[in-house]
Structure 1
């Protein structure tokens, strides 16, 4: 089943131009014109596997309205699948991260089931596309569409947002499954150069990091009052704070209604004066929420930890979230009462993506330290989001996190993601004033402004579709 997400057409170009300055704004307009001329009346399609949750969906909710303002015809389609399809794609995704996951096979039977589940989406797309169209397929859930679409459109490009820094037997099995389906793709686009497998390095490869949207509800500036209201809504207000959050908040992204109560597991409000330590991510083994829980409760003497993720039942293309959320709950329940009191497990509703984004924004802005202790990572947009908010971020030295943080300059890198004691020590040092959180936060913001905003997406796409490059294929 193929779906076309509904997008809010919020003007963003003027706001972006103010942030990036006149030179980059001019190049952005030129790049959009190049894409428009290359399409020659066709459409630029982006295809992924979920309309909400995860970095790809968030980027597309910014990118498609921006393209519309720039005069580029662009559309977004979401492929569907059955339970078997998402079980296979979860196994495949974990394999590409270098791990065995559930240990199940990725052989001919699984490939046949995967392609069969994609078949209805492929048939629907064939009815929608035009010979002049360009299609960009995102991640392993869509790779099986390459061959079908290649004969129907001007060009098909496949984009990979995940990977592993060093190949493993598991990642090799993942690429054994995936690589044969990519033969007809014109370009293979990776977020991190190190994630390109050796078997694909003779192909036309482009490296394109993801971006954050600085003017949407996830990253726009917020007043102190709006932040406090969101903290109250999520049960993170200090114990002395009273009153209820207003139903509607005025934000830089427009009015946002707070109507979906998060699921909050805690033993009471955050203590007055306790600094806030936060990790925002999916409930996923590779994001290691449980490791952050242990590191803070065992090795950080003061502070309140917020582990913030989506409703674990709400992400269709990730069938393991409920298991890993339950694992965190079990570990939390096993803590001594004094340590349990220092932790909140917060699951945000996915019913309204704008409300969800606003709550994440507020929690990150209220945080003294933001952590991203991934065991493996494709890119990790939550790092760039927190850096944009001038937070001190501590991330594992894996995947795209290393491409965002310069250790000791605009954040800190954890060399060994399993070293919980070191993580606790650097958090403790940061909270004790042993590092200049304000200066590091300032540098972090500047890094994101320079390298991880939407104009880079458009300018790189223009270069990928340049006629002279197409002619050499």
Structure 2
């Protein structure tokens, strides 16, 4: 029910300080001192529901080692659950994004089952806590722990990574379910201001976007031969595929390429054929099947890679396999000439560093990266692609609007259901033009200024001492 999660990354603090410059490095160290003083002898705990897959887990694999390198005692706990618990939280996920999802209810029975499960988690967690500890609880899977553990620690904060730009009947039901459990939180954290529902605007709210970890396998610079090796393993190169495990050096760290990707395609891109890629969870709201439809109907050139994790590896999202299979079924229904322009790729998750390296290489080989979400909390894959200088074509929803200025740092489609408009922007982004090159440079600068890990720690220090 509860695991203290080991992290996959090292801190790379010196490299981060060199990247952000001396002024921000000084601010970072000062913030760490503030957090350490606030904790006394306690621990800063981050708590979520999965150790692999999704932006929260990816950030915590960087944040916890960085905190530790700065002298802050920080740990990461992952809560588990059974099918009933995760069916309720999946329903909450859909509701907070504006739809009920499976059509089930979020009433007294669901709340009782939800809290009953978290009571077991709290009993186990209580054995690890001290009165000086501070909890940062991530998303709707953890909300009930505010009351269950609030008296055992110095402070509890709840962080919401999801939301809708305009509240709907379904999202109101989701907030009806969660709001009573937020009454005793010391503060709330949202990725963007417009996702804070009106009923919570009088609370202590901190706006804290997610960050890109610049030196991990997912984002660090890669040698051309490493990219070429990865592309053959993912079905995106006509070169003979690797037949045995390979170890590559990434920033002085050995990463082993041992596991095969699952590739559904009629063949790789032609040499020189521009590549569009969307890398997301297999999730209805990420609209991977919508990307497939838009590309094969309205983009006359190029090759599309739809890339996601192994669905079986994400225990808190029981619908991943359904939406992966939806993409496969839609691809199978295409005529041969269109099937030959699309690959559906399911990446292995057994080794997080290996998975991250595969994602990195695909993003760097792409001419454009897309994120056609129907709704979005923040959309960390957008910032990651921008960091690599890609022109991103994305929906103007959620936190994506906080990252991209249309025509300046990327391209936005106002209505994510408008397949023709999305296809037109992808067609534009696939062209090799000076405008697109300049847009990619500005995209990277935007991330360097606003979405690096030091912002996480500086804002946390301000929040817990407010």
Q: TM class, shorter-chain normalised?
A: over 0.9
Hey, what's the Cα distance between the residues in 1 that align with 2:421 and 2:434?
Answer: 15
Corresponding residue for residue 242 of structure 1:
240
Corresponding residue for residue 98 of structure 1:
98
Are positions 1:255 and 2:282 aligned together? Answer: no
SS at match of 1:436: helix
Count of aligned pairs between the two proteins: 465
Tell me by how many angstroms 1:457 deviates. 0.3
Q: Map 1:364-379 to 2 at 5 A.
A: 364-379=363-378
Hey, what's the Cα distance between the residues in 1 that align with 2:128 and 2:399?
Answer: 34
Hey, what's the Cα distance between the residues in 2 that align with 1:55 and 1:8?
Answer: 14
Residues 429 and 435 of structure 1 are in contact (CA less than 8 Å); yes or no, is this contact kept in structure 2? no
Hey, what's the Cα distance between the residues in 2 that align with 1:124 and 1:232?
Answer: 45
Corresponding residue for residue 180 of structure 2:
180
Tell me by how many angstroms 1:244 deviates. 2.4
Corresponding residue for residue 382 of structure 2:
383
Q: Map 1:336-355 to 2 at 5 A.
A: 336-355=335-354
Hey, what's the Cα distance between the residues in 2 that align with 1:158 and 1:95?
Answer: 18
Residues 80 and 118 of structure 1 are in contact (CA less than 8 Å); yes or no, is this contact kept in structure 2? no
Q: Normalised by the size of structure 2, how large is the TM-score?
A: 0.98
> Residue deviations 1:19-43, cap 9 Å, x none?
1000000000000000000001110
> Residue deviations 1:182-206, cap 9 Å, x none?
1110000000110101111111011
Hey, what's the Cα distance between the residues in 2 that align with 1:135 and 1:351?
Answer: 28
Hey, what's the Cα distance between the residues in 1 that align with 2:125 and 2:231?
Answer: 42
Corresponding residue for residue 79 of structure 2:
79
Corresponding residue for residue 30 of structure 2:
30
Residues 164 and 376 of structure 1 are in contact (CA less than 8 Å); yes or no, is this contact kept in structure 2? yes
> Residue deviations 1:233-282, cap 9 Å, x none?
11111x3x235276011112611100010111111122222111000000
Hey, what's the Cα distance between the residues in 1 that align with 2:95 and 2:434?
Answer: 38
Hey, what's the Cα distance between the residues in 1 that align with 2:75 and 2:429?
Answer: 44
Q: Map 1:308-323 to 2 at 5 A.
A: 308-323=307-322
Corresponding residue for residue 47 of structure 2:
47
Are positions 1:169 and 2:169 aligned together? Answer: yes
Hey, what's the Cα distance between the residues in 2 that align with 1:335 and 1:202?
Answer: 51
Are positions 1:13 and 2:13 aligned together? Answer: yes
Q: Map 1:395-414 to 2 at 5 A.
A: 395-414=394-413
Corresponding residue for residue 437 of structure 1:
436
Residues 305 and 342 of structure 2 are in contact (CA less than 8 Å); yes or no, is this contact kept in structure 1? yes
Corresponding residue for residue 424 of structure 1:
423
Corresponding residue for residue 133 of structure 1:
133
Hey, what's the Cα distance between the residues in 2 that align with 1:423 and 1:85?
Answer: 36
Tell me by how many angstroms 1:127 deviates. 1.1
- Hey, which bits of structure 1, 4+ residues long, moved more than 6 A? none
Corresponding residue for residue 151 of structure 1:
151
Hey, what's the Cα distance between the residues in 1 that align with 2:68 and 2:167?
Answer: 40
Gap regions ≥5 residues in structure 2: none
Tell me by how many angstroms 1:11 deviates. 3.8
SS at match of 1:257: strand
CA RMSD of the aligned region, Å? 1.1
Tell me by how many angstroms 1:115 deviates. 1.0
> Residue deviations 1:387-410, cap 9 Å, x none?
000000011000000000011001
Tell me by how many angstroms 1:433 deviates. 3.8
Tell me by how many angstroms 1:312 deviates. 1.1
Residues 215 and 253 of structure 1 are in contact (CA less than 8 Å); yes or no, is this contact kept in structure 2? no
Residues 46 and 136 of structure 1 are in contact (CA less than 8 Å); yes or no, is this contact kept in structure 2? yes
Hey, what's the Cα distance between the residues in 2 that align with 1:417 and 1:449?
Answer: 27
Greater Cα shift, 177-186 or 242-251 = 242-251
> Residue deviations 1:191-236, cap 9 Å, x none?
0110101111111011000001000011001011111111111111
Corresponding residue for residue 160 of structure 2:
160
Q: Normalised by the size of structure 1, how large is the TM-score?
A: 0.97
> Residue deviations 1:95-140, cap 9 Å, x none?
0001121110000000111111222211111111110010000000
SS at match of 1:255: strand
Hey, what's the Cα distance between the residues in 2 that align with 1:148 and 1:180?
Answer: 13
Tell me by how many angstroms 1:431 deviates. 2.2
Change (3 A) 1:154 1:253: farther
Change (3 A) 1:375 1:462: same
Residues 8 and 353 of structure 2 are in contact (CA less than 8 Å); yes or no, is this contact kept in structure 1? no
Gap regions ≥5 residues in structure 1: none
Hey, what's the Cα distance between the residues in 2 that align with 1:243 and 1:83?
Answer: 38
SS at match of 1:143: coil
Tell me by how many angstroms 1:432 deviates. 3.1
Residues 299 and 427 of structure 2 are in contact (CA less than 8 Å); yes or no, is this contact kept in structure 1? yes
Tell me by how many angstroms 1:6 deviates. 1.6
Change (3 A) 1:376 1:9: closer
Greater Cα shift, 244-253 or 184-193 = 244-253
